[in-house]
Amino acid sequence: MLATGVGRRQPAPGTISRSVQVDLRSPWAIRDVEIPTRLVLAPMAGVSVQAFRRQGRRYGAGLVCSEMVSCAGLQHGNERTLGYLRISPDERPLAVQIFGSDPAVMADAARMVEDAGADLVDINFGCPVKKVTKTGAGATMLDDHARACAVVSAVADAVSVPVTVKMRRGLQNGSRACLELGPRLVEAGAASLTLHPRSAKQMYTGEADHSLTAELVSLVEVPVIASGDVTSRARAQAILATTGAAAVMVGRAAQGNPWALREIIDGDAEEPSREEVVAELLLFIRETVRELGNHRATGFLKKFYGWYLGRGRFPRPFKQELVQLATLEEVETRLLAAAPGAADVLARLQSELPDAEDDVVLDLPISIYGGG
């Protein structure tokens, strides 16, 4: 029987317990979905393509998540198709995240996601971006508890896989809406909750208040995932020890930096060589082209150059040079010229990937909010 992280004696909210060391490589479960590590890779719009998720699994994430998918786009089938969501055997377990505000439409979308092979259906009640909240979806649900519960209930009734919810603390700074809403969502059918304890108004400024995470853990009998400011192994251990959460979720720290996941999961803080950095970036480029096509991938990838090549790994002008190149072929040529040994590392990485034919291609349009 896998541990869920629920039922342990919780420290008082906000206190620091340095005696508790959580084995981040210990398995846990969301209902019947077994998750091999306590590290979850966050769903991020414009980032969480399949290449990003597969990379996260290679570096220690036990659960990976798609970027949010519009339930309206799935229902109508006439949203401009920006790409297709794929599931590869080496990225499972996988949560596909959906957003919307109509319970019936969300239920239909969840059925499609389950039929496509997702292990979990995740509902977004946390996105603070205006183009999402103005539709009544995302973080807006934190102020409409009846509708939020109706959405979760409809989705949970529609699918057999576990339903999870990702939310923020509330819309306004200082809000404690998550503590009232969380238990109600569990009653409605949520098998796990992820809390990012910033307000929607905060966006990503300030600090995540994980005393709220500890309070939420004490209120529900399902696994809680702690999200926000998980940037190092020490920070992950402190959050787990002080909140009693089942797992931590890593987001921005892993953008172009899978080595951050390795440091969190194993404590391996060794900086990658330039050859390793270039090889991972080249693999990411090739896998993204396979998923999105050359045209979409060319623009989509530009933000990743700085993420991979920054942190003092390469001179800043090098990133600007890559951004200005017209084709991805030119980008690859320039990267290999900067680190010729990356070709051997790349060949090894590619040899370890499953065949592309093993992918399950989901004929579902991804969200227009994905930024691809």
State the catalytic residues.
127
- The full length of the chain comes to 372
Kindly write down the DSSP assignment for every residue of 242-257, as one continuous string: HH--SEEEE-GGGTT-
User: How far apart, in whole angstroms, are the C-alpha atoms of residue 264 and residue 238?
Assistant: 12
CA distances from 216 to 63, 95, 201, 260 (A): 21, 22, 20, 27
Q: Are 38 and 24 contacting, i.e. CB atoms less than 8 angstroms apart?
A: yes
Distance between CA atoms of 149 and 159, rounded to whole angstroms? 16
Rg (CA), the chain: 20
Spatial CA neighbour of 189 closest among 159, 216, 219, 224: 159
Coil/strand/helix, residue 231 = coil
The amino acid that residue 322 corresponds to is L
Q: Within 13 Å, how many C-alpha atoms sit on residue 97's CB side?
A: 28
Q: What is the identity of the amino acid at 137?
A: A
Q: What sections of 62-124 are H helices per DSSP?
A: 71-76, 103-116
DSSP 326: S
Question: What's the CA gap between 370 and 67, in Å, rounded?
Answer: 7
In angstroms, the CA 279 to CA 350 distance is: 10
Closest Cα to residue 262, out of 238, 283, 232, 284?
232
> Could you give the CA distance from residue 156 to residue 100 in angstroms, rounded to a whole number?
15
What the block records as the tokens of 1 is 């029987």
